[in-house]
Amino acid sequence: MAEGSVTKAADRDSKHQPAETPVRRVLFVGNSLTYWNDGVYSHLEKLAASGGAAVRLETGKSVQGGATLKSNWERPEPRAMIAAGSWTDVLLQEDLPEINVSYFRENARKFVESVRAVKARPVLLMTWAYARLAWIDNGQIAEAHRAVASELGAEVAPVAVAWQRVLQERPKLELFAPDREHPSLSGTYLETCVVYATLYRTSPEPLAYVPAGMDEADALYLRRMAWEVVREWKP
């Protein structure tokens, strides 16, 4: 089911928020790997707010279950939202096991060009491999994103790299939901922390937000891992 909207952090109160407060507006284009567990966008707002940032964060989303960048390009909503939104950043999430690298390259280029046309920053949101479509692993997904990002001069939020490291270092920390494809709450939190570190170019480690039901020590580890991977990522 498609879902396109702009959201605001729940704790923003107009009585306490001066009109001149700078706003960072981030749009997510993707599928259920982005919108699972209430969406990376909602957790990103809460994570950013927990650090008391001077710049207010607003997010928007144009997401559809099972969508690739190709199918998202073919429906009108994502392109209309990019054109109309006055975004500072647009996250473009491919589900690479669902489609081949050639289609990824072709449609990433279309989206990146449309994002740049409105003077926003395009970021490729690299999601992870899963067993249902095992023709590609996390390392190959990372290399495909590296190659496409290099061609387009775009940035990457390297979630699959962080995902693989957590699988190796903390195999008991479950990143997958029971279907072994979508993220658990910990997986969504890791994705969120990688996005935060990529957008803000700073560590999420000091931030206080931990989703209800998550272990705080696990959350701290995931924030630390996100920054380690983003800091080491080479275009």
**Domains in the chain with CATH codes:** 22-232 (3.40.50.1110)
Contact 148, 117 (CB under 8 A): no
Among candidates 231, 71, 225, 69, which has minimal Cα distance to 152? Answer: 69
Q: pLDDT tens, position by position, for the chain (235 residues)?
A: 455 666 544 444 444 544 566 889 999 999 999 999 999 999 999 999 998 766 789 999 999 999 999 999 999 999 999 999 799 999 999 999 999 999 999 999 999 999 999 999 999 999 999 999 999 999 999 999 999 999 999 999 999 999 999 999 999 999 999 999 999 999 999 999 999 999 999 999 999 999 999 999 999 999 999 999 999 998 7
Rounded to two decimals, what is the model's pTM? 0.91
Q: Is there a contact between 108 and 144 (Cβ–Cβ < 8 Å)?
A: no
Strands (E), 44-196: 56-63, 89-94, 121-126, 155-157
